[in-house]
Amino acid sequence: MIKTLNTLFVTMLGLGKIKFIPGTFGSLATTVILFYFFHVLNISSNLILVVLIIIFIYSFYAISSHIKNSKNKDPREIIIDEFLGQSIPIYLYEIYHTSTNESGETIIYYAIFFILFRYFDIMKPFPVNFFDKNFKNSFGVIMDDICAGFYVVLTLICFIFLKQFVL
């Protein structure tokens, strides 16, 4: 029973079992889910943070359990790490923009976050590649996507900083 629940958890209810680009579908689903939580249901950012922390902590156990008897320590069907990494720039954007955002502007930012996250997750610049290559366990599976999420944030901070000098 717990093995089935862990599989559902790490594959985001089976979404990771899609044969073609499961990580991209996981990132896209995360973007849609968080938009819905923040802008349709208007869930408190504090509650969302608590849920994200619980998911982050439980992911270590669930992924370890899922890959325990497998040769492949980072199978494609595990996409909860994409959920976590994609959540970082979206969450930080939402708490930074405390005023009411226009949906159009928010959708543009979410699309940018999605594209940049997928780019960094696929290209794996340092230290993303460090975690991916050197930790063949749940820590490595999760941390490469966490780093990719922070790369998105860093890229946007640099863009905002440079934008101040151009305009």
pLDDT digits (tens, 9 = 90+) for 114-134: 999 999 999 988 888 888 788
Average pLDDT (76-92) is: 96
Q: Which of 167, 87, 72 is closest to 121 using CA atoms?
A: 87
Residue 77, phi then psi, degrees to nearest 5: -70, -20
Preceding peptide of 125 cis, ω within 30°: no
pLDDT digits (tens, 9 = 90+) for 7-23: 999 999 999 999 999 99
**Separation between Cα atoms, residue 15 and residue 83, nearest integer Å:** 11
Q: Which of 75, 68, 107, 85 is closest to 26 using CA atoms?
A: 85
pLDDT digits (tens, 9 = 90+) for 25-78: 999 999 999 999 999 999 999 999 999 999 999 999 999 998 887 777 678 899
Token output for 74:
């980072």
The answer to whether 90 touches 113, Cβ cutoff 8 Å, is: yes
Residue 41, phi then psi, degrees to nearest 5: -85, -15
